[in-house]
Amino acid sequence: MSTETLFVGTVITVDTARPRAEALLVRDGRIAAVGTMEEVRAAVTASGDELELIELGDRALLPGFVEAHGHPSDTAVVLSHFMVDIRPVTLATAEEVMQAIHEGVAEHPEGAYFNGWDGLLQTGLSDPGIHELDRIGGATPLVILHNSGHVVYFNTAAAKKAGIDKDTPDPVGSHWEKDADGELTGKGFEVGTVFALMGSTLGAAAHELPALLAGYLGTLNAVGITTVSDMSWDHAKQPALDAARAAGGLSARLRLYEMSAPGKKASVQPDNGDELVRQVGVKTWADGSPWVGNILISFPYLDTEGTRSIGVEPGSHGSANYSREQLDEVVEQYFPEGWQLACHVHGDLAVDRVLDTWEALLARHPRADHRLRMEHVGAMSPAQFEQAAALGVTASLLIDHVYYWGEVLVDQLFGPEHGGPWANARAALDAGLKISLHNDGTVTPAEPLRNMSVAMTRTTRSGRHIEGADGITLDEAIRAQTLDAAWQLFSEHEVGSLEVGKFADLVVLSADPSSVTPDELPSLTVEQTWLAGEQVYQRQADAHGEHIPHPPVSE
């Protein structure tokens, strides 16, 4: 007879047929019963020590949260000892950033690598040029990754180590910035330049990736996440992933999206993997980041201290990574093979380009259930959401743009007309789209409860309400972090709601989300996290009051 776990108390199912229940029974890693106390008690087959009873009391049981747009295999490395963390969530001021860079160079003469530069939030920083970085780094290779991940800064020693000079061709979809004389400025745009400069570091980190990945997934469990996508998957990491799994280090389900590349095919077939690890799609970047000026927009960047600090010309309308013809080529490589496509896109003109590309693609290759995904969609308009809905497109929103950069969007970059409705979840839902909310790996810490709160209130971390878009409801916010996010990953039949037969991926919160105000929602704590009926996180305090995760397990 199997060991069973019975949860009794407030159960929020995210199942429209029965939104709430009094009890839930877990057997063999799956949900065996959910409903009234009497219904669930009748389904219990275990007895004595074989039945684990968990009285929820004031707490609430929900489906495990789903991070529909993550980067766990990269984040595990970037937030490790291989790089110095200078993100705004770690260092608030320009002075702290520069001190950390000088100290990092002194401590790592073989090569100093930093992640998180953000001149818009760390006021006083201006884009560093190659000569400034040469002065700081000297003969030490010095590489600084922008907090957005879309720009990398480097000195001459780093370029030499990576074999890059003024004649080095631009990687497809990326480019090296050069001055009027054709010389490198020390700035590279997009993922191709990042990988070119950090190849040796990433190679060294690969040996530790199994342990690093297990550790990072543990931090996701601590905020209630049980499923996470990897939106920059490289099949070269497969041995490390296999090793992590063999060692029992996968405490969350992984849904992989391989990075697209012109002229290539996916490294596996669409029918691959299992319930724990599976590649479900392919990822493309149509444009870049609003924080570095390379999103394609119909409206201009303002002339402010903020835009000048990030090196964006006043009146600029940004740029795209791919032409329409290049996008056509990329999607044609993968979609006919059966892959789901996900496309990073922020600017409204870039959104038009992607929607036009996909409309033509679907005319050539009709597919009833494609779930084409648009990622971030900062400047996407209500009319564009309606066009997307008509095509069957879905969207995942980086709502932290409102929380961290809301004032920047309105006051420094685009003004209230265009910055105010940024990441408009309400308009997406009103158009009929299914949406998810995400944090995007290293960009901001994974905090599903805060995501839900900000989507409801559109309030920044300083407490300012950003006008221009309405908030969503609590039920909509929960779905965007559970069932609808799972649906985007083609996993709604496995996880995302508490229904009989689905995996017992669960999160126990300190209180019922409906018992607090939207502003108070982030103050709730994750008490427990379960993956397939096995507890992977238990909130407990160490001697310093910090909460530590339960050791990870593998299915």
pLDDT in tens, the chain (555 residues): 468 999 999 999 999 999 999 999 999 999 999 999 999 999 999 877 799 999 999 999 999 999 999 999 999 999 999 999 999 999 999 999 999 999 999 999 999 999 999 999 999 998 999 999 999 999 999 999 998 888 999 999 999 999 999 999 998 888 999 999 999 999 999 888 988 998 878 788 888 999 999 999 999 999 999 999 999 999 999 999 999 999 999 999 999 999 998 888 999 999 999 999 999 999 999 999 999 999 999 999 999 999 999 999 999 999 999 999 999 999 999 999 999 999 999 999 999 999 999 999 999 999 999 999 999 999 999 999 999 999 999 999 999 999 999 999 999 999 999 999 999 999 999 999 999 999 998 899 999 999 999 999 999 999 999 999 999 999 999 999 999 999 999 999 999 999 999 999 999 999 999 999 999 999 999 999 999 999 999 998 643 444 444 433 333
Instruction: State the pLDDT at residue 204.
Output: 85
Measured between alpha carbons, how far is 195 from 175 in angstroms, rounded to an integer? 12
Q: Which amino acid, one-letter code, is at 27? A: R
Q: Torsion angle, CA of 477/219/89/283, rounded to 10 degrees?
A: -70
The 8 Å CB, 24+ separation contacts for 515-524 are: 518/452, 518/453, 518/456, 518/457, 518/471, 518/474, 519/453, 519/457, 519/459, 521/449, 521/450, 521/452, 521/453, 521/456, 522/447, 522/449, 522/450, 522/453, 524/449
Instruction: State the pLDDT at residue 543.
Output: 39
Measured between alpha carbons, how far is 171 from 111 in angstroms, rounded to an integer? 23
Chain region(s) in the chain for CATH 3.20.20.140: 209-488
- To which residue do tokens 């427990």 refer? 528
Q: Within a 10 A sphere around the Cβ of 38, how many other Cβ atoms?
A: 9
Instruction: State the pLDDT at residue 262.
Output: 82
| The dihedral sign for the CA sequence 91, 94, 98, 101 | positive
Instruction: State the pLDDT at residue 190.
Output: 84
**Structural contact between residues 456 and 466, judged by C-beta atoms closer than 8 angstroms:** no
Instruction: State the pLDDT at residue 551.
Output: 38
| Domain 81-204 CATH assignment equals 3.20.20.70 | no
**Structural contact between residues 296 and 285, judged by C-beta atoms closer than 8 angstroms:** no
Measured between alpha carbons, how far is 319 from 22 in angstroms, rounded to an integer? 53
Chain region(s) in the chain for CATH 3.10.310.70: 81-204
Instruction: State the pLDDT at residue 199.
Output: 80
| Domain 4-63+501-524 CATH assignment equals 2.30.40.10 | yes
**Structural contact between residues 193 and 220, judged by C-beta atoms closer than 8 angstroms:** no
The 8 Å CB, 24+ separation contacts for 161-168 are: 161/111, 161/200, 162/196, 162/197, 162/199, 162/200, 164/196, 164/197, 168/196
Instruction: State the pLDDT at residue 542.
Output: 42
Give the DSSP letter string of 373-397.
Answer: EEEE-TT--HHHHHHHHHHT-EEEE
Chain region(s) in the chain for CATH 2.30.40.10: 4-63+501-524
Measured between alpha carbons, how far is 90 from 83 in angstroms, rounded to an integer? 13
Q: Which of 514, 531, 530 is nearest to 456 (CA)?
A: 514
Q: Which amino acid, one-letter code, is at 361? A: L
Measured between alpha carbons, how far is 399 from 457 in angstroms, rounded to an integer? 11
**Structural contact between residues 395 and 380, judged by C-beta atoms closer than 8 angstroms:** yes
- To which residue do tokens 């590349």 refer? 261
Q: Which CATH architecture has domain 209-488?
A: Alpha-Beta Barrel (3.20)
